[in-house]
C-alpha cells in the first residue's frame, strides 16, 4: 500500500513537471524569483527610508502624534514640540527639491499618468515594457520626500514603479522580447505591491488586472505570483509577517446585513466620484495653468504648500494614513471624524498628486474608501446593533469596494482584504459591494492609461488580426461574375481544356438536377491531365471534392477556416446560405491572405509607433482603427 502511494506521488510529480516543461513555466518561475528578490530588497530599503524620515520630520521636529498601524512601527523617537507650521514648510521644500530633479531629468513623467502604478500601465501598453532606469530612481526618491514630509500619498504606486523598472531593466539587459519585457514589468510591479502591502496574492492579482478596465493579463500571472511571493518573503525576513493593520477576524453571519453593504457600495461610489472629480479638477484647472506659467518645480512647490497647509490644520490628511484606518477598524474614530477624513484626505491628495508630486493613490484611496464604509457601519450599528454587530468590518469592505470601483480591479483588492482580515469571513459582502461599486463607477477611472481589454492595447495588437478578419466581409474581397462551371458528367478532356483556358484553380461542379454538388480543385487532377488515355474515362463527378462555399455576408475569418478545412484554392460564393441560391462569384484564398497581411502590417506599424513613443491616445488603439 505504501509503495502504491509512492508510485502515485511519483506519477503525479512527473505529470506536473511535464506540464511545467511544456508550458515553459520553469523559465518564468526563475524570472519571477529573480525579479522578486531584487524588488523585495528595494521595497525593504524604500520602507525603512520613508519610515525613518517621516518619524524624524513629522514626529520629532513637527511634533505630530500620527498613529502608526501595528505592522509599521519601526523607529522610536521622542515627540517634539508641537509645530504644525513646519508641515507646509517640509512639503514645500519637498516639492521644490523633487520638482527640480523631475524638471531637469524626467519632465515627461509629469504627464505620464496618475501615479507610479499608472505610469507602469502606460509603459506596458504603449512603450513596449521599456522603463528608463532614471525614471523609477528619481520618482522613487522623490516619493520618499513627498510622503515623509507629510504629502498625502501612498507607497504602493512608487514601489510598483520601482519594481516594474527592475523587471524592465533586467529584460532589457538580457535582450528579451517586447512580450517578455512587458511580463517582467508586471512581475516587478506585483512584487513591489505584494511586499509593501504584505499581501502577496492580492498584490500579484492587482498588478495583472489594474492595467485593464474589463480584462486581466493572464500570461503574467505565473511570474507575477512568483515575484510577489519572493518579494514578500524577502521583505518579511527583515520586518516580520505581521499585517499592516491589526484587523480582527470578522465574520459575516446575518444575510440581512447585505442591505447595509449594498448601501455601503452606494456611499463608496459617491465618495469615488467626489475623489476622482476633485483630483481631476485640481490637476487640470489649478495646476496645469500654474505649470504652464511657472514650470514644473514651482508647481510642485505650490502643491506641497497647499497639501502641507491642509495637514497642519487637519493632521489625519498627512502622509498615508494607515494608522487612522486601523483605529477606524477597531472602532476608535467617531462618525463625524470619519466624514472629515474623507473630505480632508480627498482634498489633500488632490493637491499632492494633482500637482505632480511623487507618490501613490492606492493608500489615500483605501483610506477614503475605508472611512466611507466606516460611516455606514457606525450608523447601521447605532440603529440596528443586532444586525450590524461589527462596524469595523465595514471599513475593510469599504476599502476594497472603493478601490475596485475607481480602479476597475475587482479581484486584487478583494483578496488583499481577505489577507488582511485573516480569512474569507467577509467574502460575500466584499463581492457584493465591489460589484456594485464597479457598476456605479463605470464612468470614472482613477488611472488614465487603463484600456478596456487586450484588443485595445498595443501589447496585444497582433492578437487583433483575427478581429481584423472578422470585421472584413467576403463581399469586399471576392471576384463577382459567373465562374466556369463543370457538369458532373464532364470528361477529363473537357476539364483539361477548361484548366488551360481559364485562370481559375477551383471549379464548381453542377449535378444533373442543376444544383452545385461539389468543387473540383486543380490539385486533385494535376497528375491526370497529361494522361490522354484517361481523357474519356474520368468524369468530373469522380474527382470533385465536397461542396464548401461562402456567402457575401460572411466574414473573412470564417472563410479562412473553410479554406483551411477544404484546402481549396478558391471557394464558390453563393448569394445566400441556400444551395439553390445564385452562384455570384469566387473567393480566392490569396485574397484572404492579402487581407491578413495588410492587417499584420497595420498592427506592426501601430506597435512601432506606440513603442517609440509617437503620439497615441491614452486609451490605446480602438478596434475600428486597426
pLDDT band at 15 (very low <50, low <70, confident <90, very high): low
- If asked whether residues 374 and 517 sit together in one domain, one would say no
Residue 7 three-state SS: helix
- If asked whether residues 229 and 263 sit together in one domain, one would say no
Q: What is the tally of helices (H) and strands (E) in the chain?
A: 24, 7
pLDDT band at 248 (very low <50, low <70, confident <90, very high): confident
Tell me if 585 sits within 8 A of 621, measured CB to CB: no
Tell me if 181 sits within 8 A of 168, measured CB to CB: yes
- Which range of residues forms the domain containing residue 489? 474-595
CA nearest to 103, candidates 290, 300, 351, 285? 300
Q: Is the Cα torsion angle 565, 567, 569, 570 positive or negative in sign?
A: negative
CA nearest to 350, candidates 409, 404, 408, 310? 310
Tell me if 124 sits within 8 A of 459, measured CB to CB: yes
How many structural domains compose the chain? 3
- If asked whether residues 397 and 493 sit together in one domain, one would say no
Question: Does residue 3 lie within any of the structural domains?
Answer: no
Instruction: Flag whether pLDDT at 464 surpasses 60.
Output: no
Q: Is the Cα torsion angle 534, 535, 540, 545 positive or negative in sign?
A: positive
- If asked whether residues 97 and 155 sit together in one domain, one would say yes
Tell me if 61 sits within 8 A of 81, measured CB to CB: no
- If asked whether residues 501 and 442 sit together in one domain, one would say no
pLDDT band at 530 (very low <50, low <70, confident <90, very high): low
Report how far apart, in Å, the C-alpha atoms of 566 and of each of 13, 472, 589 are: 42, 21, 11
Burial of 494 (0-12, 13-18, 19+ CB in 10 A): middle
Question: Does residue 624 lie within any of the structural domains?
Answer: no
CA nearest to 171, candidates 157, 163, 183? 183
Query: Model confidence over 501-527: pLDDT tens digits?
Result: 777 788 888 888 888 888 888 777 766
Q: What is the CATH number of the domain that holds 480?
A: 3.10.580.10
Instruction: Flag whether pLDDT at 605 surpasses 80.
Output: no
The whole-model pTM stands at 0.75
Q: What is the CATH number of the domain that holds 119?
A: 1.10.3080.10
Instruction: Flag whether pLDDT at 625 surpasses 90.
Output: no
- If asked whether residues 183 and 287 sit together in one domain, one would say no
- If asked whether residues 286 and 230 sit together in one domain, one would say no
- If asked whether residues 222 and 261 sit together in one domain, one would say no
- If asked whether residues 181 and 265 sit together in one domain, one would say no
Measure CA 122 to chain center: 10
Percent of the chain with pLDDT over 90: 51
Provide the grid cell at 163: 519594481
- β-bridge pairing 479-480 and 583-588: antiparallel
Across the range 90-95, mean pLDDT stands at 96
- If asked whether residues 128 and 269 sit together in one domain, one would say no
Tell me if 461 sits within 8 A of 606, measured CB to CB: yes
Tell me if 458 sits within 8 A of 620, measured CB to CB: yes
Query: Model confidence over 105-164: pLDDT tens digits?
Result: 999 888 888 888 999 999 998 888 889 999 999 999 999 999 999 999 999 999 999 999
Instruction: Flag whether pLDDT at 180 surpasses 90.
Output: no
The DSSP code sequence of 99-166 is: HHHHHHH-GGGGGS-SSHHHHHHHHHHHSTT---THHHHHHHHHHHHHHHHT-S-BSHHHHHHHHHHH
State which of 454, 486, 508 marks the end of a domain. 454
Mean pLDDT of the chain: 86
Out of 376-390, 403-417, 440-454, 533-547, give the one with best mean pLDDT. 376-390
Query: Model confidence over 75-90: pLDDT tens digits?
Result: 889 999 999 999 999 9
Instruction: Flag whether pLDDT at 182 surpasses 50.
Output: yes
Question: Does residue 529 lie within any of the structural domains?
Answer: yes
Amino acid at each position: 500500500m505504501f509503495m502504491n502511494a509512492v508510485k502515485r506521488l511519483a506519477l503525479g510529480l512527473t505529470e506536473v513537471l511535464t506540464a511545467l516543461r511544456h508550458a515553459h513555466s520553469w523559465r518564468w518561475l526563475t524570472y519571477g524569483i529573480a525579479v522578486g528578490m531584487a524588488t523585495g530588497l528595494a521595497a525593504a530599503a524604500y520602507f525603512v527610508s520613508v519610515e525613518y524620515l517621516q518619524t524624524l520630520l513629522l514626529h520629532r521636529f513637527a511634533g505630530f502624534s500620527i498613529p502608526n498601524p501595528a505592522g509599521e512601527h519601526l523607529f522610536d523617537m521622542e515627540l517634539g514640540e508641537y509645530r504644525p507650521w513646519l508641515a507646509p514648510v517640509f512639503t514645500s521644500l519637498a516639492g521644490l527639491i523633487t520638482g527640480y530633479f523631475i524638471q531637469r531629468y524626467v519632465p515627461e513623467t509629469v504627464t505620464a499618468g496618475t501615479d507610479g502604478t499608472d505610469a507602469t500601465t502606460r509603459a506596458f501598453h504603449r512603450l513596449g515594457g521599456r522603463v528608463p532606469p532614471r525614471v523609477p530612481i528619481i520618482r522613487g526618491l522623490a516619493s520618499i520626500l513627498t510622503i515623509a514630509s507629510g504629502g498625502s500619498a501612498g507607497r504602493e504606486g512608487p514601489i510598483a514603479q520601482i519594481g516594474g523598472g527592475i523587471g524592465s531593466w533586467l529584460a532589457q539587459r538580457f535582450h528579451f522580447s517586447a512580450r517578455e519585457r512587458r511580463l517582467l514589468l508586471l512581475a516587478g510591479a506585483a512584487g513591489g505591491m505584494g511586499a509593501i502591502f504584505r499581501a502577496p496574492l492580492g498584490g500579484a492579482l492587482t498588478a495583472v488586472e489594474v492595467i485593464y478596465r474589463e480584462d486581466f493579463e493572464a500570461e503574467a500571472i505565473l511570474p507575477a505570483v512568483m515575484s510577489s511571493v519572493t518579494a514578500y518573503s524577502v521583505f518579511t525576513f527583515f520586518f516580520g509577517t505581521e499585517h499592516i493593520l491589526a484587523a480582527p477576524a470578522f465574520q459575516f453571519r446575518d444575510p440581512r446585513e447585505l442591505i447595509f453593504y449594498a448601501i455601503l457600495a452606494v456611499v463608496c461610489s459617491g465618495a469615488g466620484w467626489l475623489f476622482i472629480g476633485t483630483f481631476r479638477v485640481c490637476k487640470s484647472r489649478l495646476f496645469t495653468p500654474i505649470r504652464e506659467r511657472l514650470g514644473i518645480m514651482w508647481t510642485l512647490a505650490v502643491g506641497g504648500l497647499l497639501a502641507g497647509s491642509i495637514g497642519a490644520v487637519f493632521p489625519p490628511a498627512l502622509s498615508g494614513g494607515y494608522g487612522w484606518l486601523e483605529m477606524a477598524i477597531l472602532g476608535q474614530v467617531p462618525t463625524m471624524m470619519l466624514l472629515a477624513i474623507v473630505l480632508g484626505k480627498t482634498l489633500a491628495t488632490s493637491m499632492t498628486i494633482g500637482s505632480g508630486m511623487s507618490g501613490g493613490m492606492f493608500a489615500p484611496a483605501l483610506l477614503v474608501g475605508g472611512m466611507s464604509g466606516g460611516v455606514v457601519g457606525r450608523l447601521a450599528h447605532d440603529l440596528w446593533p443586532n444586525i450590524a454587530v461589527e462596524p469595523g468590518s465595514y471599513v475593510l469592505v469599504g476599502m476594497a469596494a472603493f478601490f475596485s470601483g475607481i480602479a476597475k480591479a475587482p479581484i486584487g483588492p478583494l483578496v488583499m482584504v481577505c489577507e488582511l482580515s485573516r480569512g474569507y469571513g467577509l467574502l460575500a459582502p466584499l463581492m457584493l459591494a465591489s460589484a456594485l461599486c464597479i457598476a456605479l463607477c463605470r464612468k470614472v477611472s482613477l488611472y488614465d492609461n487603463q484600456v478596456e481589454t487586450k484588443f485595445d492595447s498595443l501589447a496585444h495588437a497582433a492578437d487583433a488580426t483575427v478581429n481584423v478578419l472578422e470585421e472584413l466581409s467576403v463581399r469586399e474581397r471576392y471576384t463577382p461574375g459567373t465562374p466556369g462551371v463543370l457538369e458532373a458528367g464532364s470528361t477529363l478532356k473537357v476539364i483539361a481544356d477548361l484548366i488551360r483556358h481559364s485562370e481559375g484553380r477551383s471549379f464548381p461542379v453542377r449535378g444533373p438536377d442543376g444544383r452545385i454538388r461539389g468543387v473540383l480543385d486543380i490539385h486533385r487532377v494535376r497528375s491526370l491531365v497529361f494522361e490522354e488515355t484517361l481523357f474519356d474515362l474520368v468524369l468530373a463527378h469522380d474527382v470533385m471534392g465536397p461542396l464548401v462555399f461562402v456567402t457575401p455576408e460572411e466574414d473573412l475569418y470564417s472563410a479562412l477556416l473553410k479554406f483551411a478545412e477544404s484546402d481549396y484554392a478558391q471557394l464558390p460564393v453563393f448569394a445566400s446560405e441556400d444551395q439553390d441560391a445564385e452562384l455570384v462569384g469566387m473567393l480566392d484564398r490569396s485574397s484572404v491572405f492579402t487581407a491578413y497581411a495588410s492587417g499584420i502590417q497595420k498592427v506592426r506599424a501601430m506597435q512601432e509607433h506606440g513603442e517609440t513613443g509617437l503620439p497615441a491616445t491614452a486609451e490605446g488603439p480602438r478596434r475600428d482603427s486597426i
